Structure 1
Amino acid sequence: MDLLNNAIKASLRAGEVIMEVYMSNDFDVEIKNDNSPLTRADKNANDEIVSIIEPLGIPIISEENKQIEYTTRKHWKRCWIVDPVDGTKEFIKRNGEFTVNIALVEDGTPIMGVIYVPVSKTLYFTKNNCEKAYKAVLNSHNESIEDVYDKAFVIKAKPNKSLARIVGSRSHLNDETKAFISEIEKNEKVEIVSKGSSLKFCLVAEGEADIYPRYAPTMEWDTAAGQAICMAAGVSVNALPANTPLLYNKENLLNPWFLVSNRT
């Protein structure tokens, strides 16, 4: 529980400093080498998270840290995978659909995940080994761990038998995704649910959607926490076309295409 407690504390503290920037309406946007945006919120949140989880002695892969060579990483049995602000584009658009993602991975598989939504103060998390997934709506970013657990309730996937609720990103509804949706529409009625960041995983995990196809680039820090929460809620997160679970701390941190589905 100590690892989870610290991951939750780190996510809440990150959420607080993110909102300080968000509410100030005064932030510059840098463009990184991969053409993705970066703000002061990303940097501040990463500093807070690292300061809390680094002393635990488990190595960290974070979007905002300098990446460590695989020759070193391949010897890690466990590691944290962190995205201090998942959905920076959503942050810049000011639509509130951005999250803090923290996952613990063991032998390439997520065993714990925490996702925090700073604007709504909504927290999703798993216990160790992804036994159950939980959701808690908090009153503040400074909520005690005891209060977090008191407010938490179990979430589970709830397949909809009357239609297929498919999650599409506000930023990434490309031709491959449209083709996937068209195939489903041949046999079922489809409803499109739009959402940004790792909230797409959370929608399926808590029963608000059924399928999330991703035919666009993502990195390990975009998906690890969401996969942990989905697994704990009875949802598969499988690489395509292999149809096997996404793996982490790979030599190349880029994910393959994948499918999140409650139809297991």
Structure 2
Amino acid sequence: MPDDTLPSLLALAKEVAVEAGREVLRIYDSGDFSAYQKDDDSPVTSADYKANDIITRRLEEATPNIPILSEENKHASLAERKKWPRYWLIDPIDGTQEFIARSGDFAINIALIENNEPTIGVIFWPPGQTLYYASKDHGAFKECPDETRQIHVRKLEDPKRSVVMIAVSRRQSRDKILSRMNAKRIYQTLPLGSCSLKSCFIAEGKADVFMRIGITGEWDTGASQCIVEEAGGRILAANFEPLTYNQRKTLENPDFVVMGDQRVPWQDIVQYHKE
């Protein structure tokens, strides 16, 4: 019988993410891949499909009783998904556009969702050979070739006045995000690619906040949410309502915000409005 305790499932997810990530990096370095456009106009590559094959095969072999929901697989209906007490939630490559653009800002995302809540989060950044991971109530960690350490969000010296570091997209207008922030605060910006890497940088204290405006899926936030929250931060919809998993017909997320230091009055800072 497979060991399905949280520590063993975390170890499995870490191993699988690294295996898939190494293959993705090999493809990235070779430049030998094909890019396509999906029905929703988002990009996908042969590397996404290869990573998806590795992850789904390994998880199916090791945990045959745990369903898998991946961005690149056919999605089960809500009626079927509602029967799942837990499932793997996968984004084989988060940051496909960055992979194509060769910025290096892409990652492998694996989460375990139990009772509609992320309880394991694993994010592997292949070009940096860096693994971020967390499990519920056991903290968040960063593992790279020269160290493994527990990570925490940055504590601002003065939560109401300190300069706030905003992680911003390489592909979206910086002004678009700053227009949704309280103009009375002072900000610095840190350009990055994938959603999950921005979240990891907040979890380890390199940035303080990130707002995502635009279409994402639940697989874009599952692993990040576990890591960020175990590091002392939060991920919420941009209207400050909780994100949901496996509770709606659509798997699309609302616009969302990732926040570090919870002493900061984020609802005074993030002035969200829909376009």
1:124 aligns with 2:132: yes
CA distance in 1, matches of 2:78, 2:173: 32
Which amino acid is the alignment partner of residue 91 of structure 1? F
Deviations 1:62-116 (A, max 9, x none): 0111111111001111111100110000000111100000001111111110000
1:80 counterpart = 2:77: no
**What displacement does 1:167 show?**
1.2
- Confirm whether residue 170 of structure 1 aligns to residue 166 of structure 2: no
Tell me: CA distance 1:189–1:167, structure 2 relative to 1, closer, same or farther (3 Å): same
> How far did 1:178 drift?
3.3
Partner SS for 1:123: strand
Q: 1:174 to 1:120 in 2, by over 3 A?
A: closer
Q: Which runs of 5+ in 2 are unaligned?
A: 1-6, 263-275
Q: Could you list the runs of 5+ residues in structure 1 that have no partner in the other structure? A: 140-150
1:171 offset after TM fit, Å? 1.8
Tell me what 2:72 maps to: 64
Identify the residue that residue 265 of structure 2 maps to in structure 1. none
Does structure 2 conserve the Cα–Cα contact (< 8 Å) formed by 1:174 and 1:215? no
Q: CA deviation at 1:240?
A: 2.7
1:100, 1:116 within 8 Å by CA — same for their partners in 2?
Answer: yes
1:223 & 1:235 partners in 2: Cα distance? Answer: 13
Query: Helix, strand or coil: the match of 1:119?
Result: helix
CA distance in 2, matches of 1:156, 1:22: 31
Residues 22-77 of structure 1: per-residue CA shift (max 9 Å, x gap): 11112111111111111111011111111111231211110111111111001111
User: What SS is found at the alignment partner of 2:206?
Assistant: coil
Contact 1:91–1:97 (Cα < 8 Å) also in 2? yes
Q: How far 1:159 sits from its partner (Å)?
A: 2.9
Specify the alignment match of 1:189 in structure 2. Answer: 186
The RMSD of aligned alpha carbons is 1.5
How far apart are residue 194 of structure 1 and its match?
1.0
Partner secondary structure for residue 152 of structure 1: strand
SS in 2 for 1:91: helix
- Note the alpha carbon deviations across 1:171-216, whole angstroms, 9 max, x for none: 23376523213x2xx2221001111111000111000111111222
| Code of the aligned partner of 1:26 | D
Kindly report which structure 2 residues correspond to 1:1-264, keeping only aligned pairs within 5 A, or say none: 1-55=7-61, 56=63, 57-127=65-135, 129-138=136-145, 151-160=147-156, 161=158, 162-173=162-173, 177-181=177-181, 183=182, 186-197=183-194, 198-241=196-239, 243-250=240-247, 251-264=249-262
State the alpha-carbon separation in 2 of the partners of residues 82 and 3 from structure 1. Answer: 14
User: Does the 8 Å contact 2:211/2:238 carry over to 1?
Assistant: no
Kindly provide the amino acid, as one letter, of the partner of residue 112 in structure 1.
I
Q: What is the number of equivalent residue pairs in this alignment?
A: 248
Contact 1:11 1:101 in 2 (8 A): yes
Contact 2:152–2:203 (8 Å) recurs in 1? yes
- Assess, with a 3 A threshold, how the Cα gap between structure 1 residues 130 and 228 changes in structure 2: closer, same or farther: farther
User: Which amino acid in 2 is paired with 1:137?
Assistant: C
Give distance in 2, aligned partners of 1:168 and 1:235: 17
CA distance in 2, matches of 1:152, 1:109: 26
The 1-side partners of 2:72 and 2:132 are apart by 22
Query: Quick one: distance in 2 between partners of 1:238 and 1:191?
Result: 22
Letter in 2 for 1:61: L
